Amino acid sequence: MRTAPTILHLDMDAFYASAEQAAKPSLRGKAVVVGGLGPRGVVATASYEARKLGVHSAMPMGQARRLAPNAAYLVPRFGLYREISEQVMALLRELSPLVEPLSLDEAFVDLEAGGVADDQASALAVGERLRADIKTVTGLPGSVGLAASKMLAKIASEEAKPDGLRLIVPGTERELLAPMSVRTLPGVGPATGDHLRRGGITTVGEIAEAGEDELVRLLGKLHGSALYAMALARDERPVVAERESKSVSVEDTYDVDIHDRVRVRGEVARLADRCVERLRAAGHSGRTIVLKVRRFDFSTLTRSETLRGPTDDPGVVREAAARLLESVDTTGGVRLLGVGVTGLADYTQEDLFAQARAEGLERGAGEAAGAVPEEAVGAEEVEEPSVEEVPLGARRWAAGHDVRHAVYGAGWVQGSGLGRVTVRFETPGSAPGRVRTFRVDDPELSAAEPLPLVAPPGEGAWPCPLG
């Protein structure tokens, strides 16, 4: 392991919620919850004000509303979040060629590889400067962890939240880790944590004291040895600049169970097209088509079919997904559908459309649709929470989305219902704005692109709301 804390971990604090607070002056310092707003929606991110009330990510939205009835509940604006993420990642790549993004708001950086830090003092200076640069460029807070390994840098950034910096001095790692919960270590979830607890182990220090043999006995050779090494602060994993994508997928959760088989087929076809759009945007093609179905009773089934070669043809993906659906009983109702592509490549095989049709006729849909464990298409395949983005220009007003009124200027949707839409007219650089209500079909009201959180240099301030 390194002798200097030259691995940096950045975690943007409550990213989606922080972006919404920065964009909406009236929400600053208040509880904000971002996620799916339907009956089956889940929380994607909660602001720190909402977290104090007990709201956290992955919580059902109904439970969040009971805990924080006065919070602002908003639909995500992924386009805005991606733009901010690109700005942040650009700042990180100025520091080093070795930047390993983990998500839109999180990444590792090897400062030594970039030649910007080789000891504690220089690493600390880089971390402070990065936080200031992120605040200047995006207006958002970010927490930075610095350590001699990836595991410890991530632990340090977690301890630095919110909006702070934490450096773990090399040589102090074991002392720091010893009193921490076993859940602090990567790979220790609820099941492993309970298994260790039943063995009398609840802290990282107790893992180290138990010894490798005991850990292997409890968890098996691979997991036990790895966990013991981490408890001793051993982590030699390098920062990898390009993390190879394993899959591309999309999924939707429905407010009301779908019983109509024709509609289920239509939804699968629509998801297949969206999946191909994402696949092409990433410059990939894929060989294995995966269908995910969560039924009315919460049972989740996955079916997969592997083609002879990679494709990015929407017709091929649609047909394969449709064949896979034929092997799934949906008579009781469907609450979630997903389509994914794995076995990614950087080229396509042009004649797969005819080939896929022929293979389907030869084998039959049932044989082509062999069941695979749900973990095979796990959470890391879905880049975003399963909440629907409202297309720009649609006459459906999603809470939190941007609008423009011909008379009152720029604003955002505060809520809608009963044929009315309520808009608060304010911009990132204005004072908290006034609220007005319109008919949902008001011709002077239209959807708009998000405004940047920080006014571009040399272009003056944001356009002001006129109301």
Active-site residue numbers?
Answer: 106
Instruction: Identify whether the C-beta of residue 401 lies closer than 8 Å to the C-beta of residue 451.
Output: no
Angle between helices 261-281 and 314-325 in degrees, nearest 10: 140
What is the 3 state secondary structure string of 245-294? CCEEEEEEEEEEEECCHHHHHHHHHHHHHHHHHHHHHCCCEEEEEEEEEE
- Among 339, 343, 349, 353, smallest CA distance to 275 is for 339
DSSP lists the bridge partners of residue 101 as 107
**Nearest alpha-carbon partner for 119 in 94, 138, 146:** 146
Phi (first) and psi of residue 247, to 5 degrees: -165, 165
Q: At what angle do helices 212-219 and 190-198 cross, to 10 degrees?
A: 120
The whole-angstrom separation of Cα 427 and Cα 412 is 9
- Sheet containing strand 247-258, strands side by side: 247-258, 334-345, 285-295, 300-311, 370-371
* Count of C-beta atoms within a 10 Å radius of residue 125: 12
The residues near 376 (Cβ < 8 Å, ≥ 6 apart) are 290, 302, 304
Tokens of 112: 């030594």
Structure tokens at 124: 């600390």
Per 3-state DSSP, the chain is made up of helix, strand and coil in percentages (nearest 5) of 35, 25, 40
239 half-sphere exposure, CB direction, 13 A CA radius: 28
* Contacts of residue 278, Cβ cutoff 8 Å, sequence gap at least 6: 248, 250, 383
DSSP 381: G
Q: In terms of Cα–Cα distance, which of 223, 280, 278 is closest to 251?
A: 278
CA distance 371 to 194: 29
Give the angle 232-235-239 at the CA atoms, nearest 5°.
160
What's the CA gap between 363 and 301, in Å, rounded?
21
Beta strand pairing call for 142-147 and 165-167: parallel
